[in-house]
Structure 1
Amino acid sequence: MSEIKVPAMGESITEGTVSRWMVKEGDTVNQGDVLLELETDKVNIEISAEESGVLEKIIRQEGETVEIGETIGTLSAGAGGGSTPAASEPATSESKSASAPAPGAPVAPATAVAAPPEPSDSIKTASPSARKLARERGIELDQVQSKDPIGRVYQDDVKSHGSQPSTPAAPPAAKAPASAPSAPAASGTTFSKPVERQRMSRRRATIAKRLVEAQQTAAMLTTFNEVDMTAIMDVRKRRKDKFKEKHDINLGFMSFFTKAVVGALKKFPTINAEIDGEDVVLKKFYDIGIAVSAKEGLVVPVVRDADRLGFAEIERSIADLASKARSNTLALSDLQGGTFTITNGGTFGSLLSTPILNTPQVGILGMHKIQLRPVAIDAERMENRPMMYIALSYDHRIIDGSEAVRFLVTVKELLEDPESLLIEG
């Protein structure tokens, strides 16, 4: 018998969520067959069978949080011998008998029947996220009431336990079933009108956590400017057909902005840095993150060595990364190590916004919708020009306001004179 373990998935990923099992207990699988899909905060990963055999037991169910190296199932070697199906059937019938009485809250013995397959240690019957939260709050897991039919403790159970003032008292365990019915009310707000409650995906939950962390840990400010897009739009109009014919890719705005950002970062290197303790790490390379909206939430794949790429190479890299993001096929290497980020809210019609830092980066440029606005050309003449507001959010801990303003002015000047991008970018 071999164990199915959660593989290492990159330096910044320590846990994931079982998204779905592709096979059932008792199914015969061949080496290389996909057993399950694991959802992480960055990418979804398929876990395959390392040998042929029969899936003997699924230890971690869909929706459960698992840690790197944790055993999530067992596989018996061989092509499906006679003993394996027989071994799996008692487990199946046992789980059915355990789950049948679960709707009746007072039937405590039913939980005891299901307990023998589990280790007796209460820590073993809790999810990793529940164990972590309990350690942080100094809560003993055997005091936490579980709303799960088989008694497994989840993160919400620990949160509910911590919010109840009477929990420190540890009289008889017999009182536990009596308090169980009131636990669901403590886990969330109750509504008198119809609602639909959806669990956050791991990526959405991680995005939420990191955005809050960025605001709490960085001294974030935003400065604004506007760009006259006339010259860029003229270049695109004149060159787009030949560009497409030669390079088989459209000439978009992102290549211009990427080149302008690289040129400005070379002039203001602190904005291409990060804070490491009391040190400032100035990066001598330009890996530019491009924010892409995908089904599961925003991801920021990275265009490597953007300073060494031509317009066509940048456009091709961005198109390729965006396609992979939307098909959920990004690799971890596509997402790691960016030095500065560009996000384009203009694709959704945003006229102005304050982008949040993609930590540990200390700068992010926000693009917005191009809109015709009257512009004073000189003291006597007004013209309607295609204008775009741009925003730079930055970490004021190491970037002064004057430096941020001059960086944004440099980006503006480079964009309004596209030929300079060939030299400066």
Structure 2
Amino acid sequence: MIIEIKAPSPGESITEVEISSWLVKNGDYVKKGQLIAEIDSDKATLEIFSEENGIISILYKKNTKISVGDTICLINTENIKKKSNIIKKIASPASEKILREKNILKKNVEGTGKKGRITKKDCIEHVVCNLQINENVIRKETKTPLSSLRKKLSERLVNVKNNSAILTTFNEINMQEVFYIREKYKNIFKKKHGVNLGFMSFFTLSCIRALKLYPDVNSMIDKENNKVNFNYFDISIAISGPKGLMVPVIRNVQKLSFLEIEKEIDRLLKKVKNGTISIDDMKGGTFTITNGGIFGSMLSTPIINPPQSAILGMHKIIDRVVVINNSIKICPIMYVALSYDHRIIDGRESVGFLSCIKETVENPIKFLMNENEKNIPNILKIL
């Protein structure tokens, strides 16, 4: 029986996709449920799995654009046992020794002996060939076509710069109080709930307070040039993964606690890292937070995530000399940046928004607590 594997649809409006990678070779024996390929659209990457055991016939090369519904490969399920024996690698004792010493996988060596047997000569030629390749690669250039996802991202970012009046304002935050809370409770938090107590939950909740005070920051301009304000807070969190920067959304953050935010961040982080993030995970969003500090960035001007109107950039925390109450102290300081669309957000709102973030993060117990609580912050209630 011949099984056709077709290109799935990543979304309603998408008719064309691109084969970004093949994880098997033409003629390989594949098992049911085995990951065989990845397909890119302008919104997400989809994984393709084998539907049956059999021999695969690949119909399109890597980086080929195809239509949704096209057959990308065939799985021949007939005479599986006979054909699967072909892929078994047998090596002579002498070649086994070379493979073991050079840490070479059998599947990477082409056997020229009887029935594909790997000989000592095959191993030596494989080692020599790799040495030559490594020597020649020093001055070589490699051209790789941009994936559909990367092309679409580039188009969107260029479009934002060309069609928005982007400005950036900066401030600095003393992270001492947050450091104190995390140091005191992070182990208990991790043990009880199974997730880390990170900086992102503090900043996310601080953003909700600031967005309530400055609602224009939580708005956008639609296609008819109307300003649209949102009475809910869906926060996009920029996460770096194998396919590049993804921006999944945490929805209705105004209803969430520290724990719920950290669990949601952990869930989305795992999906980005293992490549299972979906279009639905990234749809919407009214405001974005990005943390370049995890890569060592001291300061940057983040670019807005369209069609949103503002983005908060967090950066690396560095011990700096500061003056507090006429005393010189060394404190952990983070620079923060707010890029915003000046068409609907004025300087007063942008500066006030960032000052509110500073005020909240520097006084988390005072501001990140329920209105009916006077002394106990949310962070203590959930332990």
SS in 2 for 1:10: coil
SS in 2 for 1:321: helix
Partner of 2:41: 40
Asked if the contact 1:341–1:358 (Cα under 8 Å) also holds between the matched residues in 2, the reply is yes
Partner of 2:9: 8
Tell me the distance in 2 between the aligned counterparts of 1:25 and 1:239.
54
Asked if the contact 2:218–2:229 (Cα under 8 Å) also holds between the matched residues in 1, the reply is yes
Distance 1:6 1:261, change over 3 A: same
1:402 to 348, 357, 379: 348
Q: CA RMSD in A?
A: 3.1
SS in 1 for 2:369: helix
Partner of 1:318: 265
Partner of 1:282: 229
Which shifted more, 289-298 or 7-16?
7-16
Which shifted more, 398-407 or 28-37?
28-37
Tell whether 2:7 aligns with 1:61. no
Question: How far apart are 1:299 and its partner, in Å?
Answer: 0.8
Tell me the distance in 1 between the aligned counterparts of 2:72 and 2:15.
19
Tell me the distance in 2 between the aligned counterparts of 1:195 and 1:80.
43
Tell whether 2:183 aligns with 1:237. yes
Asked if the contact 1:272–1:339 (Cα under 8 Å) also holds between the matched residues in 2, the reply is yes
Give per-residue Cα distances to partners, 1:350-394, cap 9 Å, x unaligned: 11110000101111000011112222223x422122111110001
Tell me the distance in 1 between the aligned counterparts of 2:74 and 2:273.
33
AA at the equivalent of 2:171: N
Distance 1:14 1:229, change over 3 A: farther
1:351 to 290, 293, 298: 298
Asked if the contact 2:292–2:314 (Cα under 8 Å) also holds between the matched residues in 1, the reply is yes
Tell me the distance in 2 between the aligned counterparts of 1:231 and 1:375.
15
Asked if the contact 2:10–2:44 (Cα under 8 Å) also holds between the matched residues in 1, the reply is no
Counterparts in 2 of 1:74-93, with a 5 A limit? 80=78
SS in 2 for 1:410: helix
TM-score (norm 1): 0.65
Tell me the distance in 2 between the aligned counterparts of 1:413 and 1:222.
19
Give per-residue Cα distances to partners, 1:149-189, cap 9 Å, x unaligned: xxxxxxxxxxxxxxxxxxxxxxxxxxxxxxxxxxxxxxxxx
Partner of 1:195: 141
Counterparts in 2 of 1:340-419, with a 5 A limit? 340-378=287-325, 380-419=326-365
2:159 to 213, 231, 236: 213
Partner of 2:171: 225
The percentage of aligned residue pairs carrying the same residue is: 45
Tell me the distance in 1 between the aligned counterparts of 2:24 and 2:324.
68
Partner of 1:306: 253
SS in 2 for 1:391: strand
Distance 1:373 1:24, change over 3 A: closer
SS in 2 for 1:422: coil
Tell me the distance in 2 between the aligned counterparts of 1:208 and 1:217.
14
AA at the equivalent of 1:66: I
Question: How far apart are 1:232 and its partner, in Å?
Answer: 1.1
Partner of 2:91: none
Tell me the distance in 1 between the aligned counterparts of 2:140 and 2:53.
48
Tell me the distance in 1 between the aligned counterparts of 2:176 and 2:23.
53
TM-score (norm 2): 0.72
1:271 to 217, 221, 226: 217
Asked if the contact 2:171–2:335 (Cα under 8 Å) also holds between the matched residues in 1, the reply is yes
Distance 1:423 1:11, change over 3 A: farther
SS in 2 for 1:355: coil
Distance 1:355 1:25, change over 3 A: closer
Question: How far apart are 1:36 and its partner, in Å?
Answer: 4.1
Partner of 2:105: none
Question: How far apart are 1:233 and its partner, in Å?
Answer: 1.1
Q: List gaps (5 residues or longer) in structure 2.
A: 80-138, 372-377, 379-383
AA at the equivalent of 1:62: K
Q: List gaps (5 residues or longer) in structure 1.
A: 82-192
Question: How far apart are 1:340 and its partner, in Å?
Answer: 0.9
Question: How far apart are 1:280 and its partner, in Å?
Answer: 1.5
Which shifted more, 1-10 or 387-396?
1-10
